[in-house]
Amino acid sequence: MKSSSARICLCLLYVMIAASVATGVVAAPNSQAKTLEKQLQDLKREVQELQTRVLQNQERDPTGTGYVGRCETGTVHTTHSMYGSGVRTQDLTALFSRSFFTTPVVTVGLGNLDQGHTGTRVTLHVRSVSTTGVVIRIGTYADTVLYGASVHWMACA
């Protein structure tokens, strides 16, 4: 918005200066001409600053898709208890309500943990991400009994 109004003002100033030159009004510099020239220089500087900001934004976002088009959140739950010993894992799949244009960044957090009377040992990480969903792996090890857990996730792209 600001850029287009700056261009319009810049064009109008060029037309005014050209008309002044054509009619001979600018034969000797006067205060009005100096004012117009200063306004023209100010507008040129403003346009240059806006162009620089556009380039900086493009460098921060080389894909041109914007920082964050949208975010989506959800919760997944373990489907069964994990008894026994050693390493045990479950992969929890969450499907997005609609596909992202690019692969989103996914953040996960443990929302609820129900475990037995042994040591608490839980692992949690994003196993894979696509534009349509995420697979989150939750696990335990040693003699920890994990009865259930919930995992909150947030995907942004």
pTM of the model: 0.59
Residue 5: pLDDT band with limits 50, 70, 90: low
Residue 51: pLDDT band with limits 50, 70, 90: confident
Q: What is the pLDDT of residue 35?
A: 85
Q: What is the pLDDT of residue 45?
A: 92
For the chain, which residues make up each domain, given as ranges? 2-60, 71-156
60 Cβ contact list (under 8 Å, min separation 6): 67
Strand partners, 73: 154
Q: Which of 42-51, 75-84, 118-127 has the lowest mean pLDDT?
A: 42-51
Q: What is the pLDDT of residue 131?
A: 96
Number of H helices, E strands in the chain: 2, 6
Q: What is the pLDDT of residue 113?
A: 96
Under CATH, what is the fold of the domain 71-156? Immunoglobulin-like (2.60.40)
- Angstrom CA distances, 95 to 54, 70, 89, 104, stand at 35, 15, 20, 12
Q: Which of 33-37, 93-97, 132-136 has the lowest mean pLDDT?
A: 33-37
Residue 53 has pLDDT above 90, yes or no: no
The pairing of beta strand 88-95 with beta strand 133-140: antiparallel
- How would you label 17-46 residue by residue, b for 16+ Cβ within 10 Å and e otherwise? beebeeeeebeeeeeebeebeeebeebeeb
Residue 56: pLDDT band with limits 50, 70, 90: confident
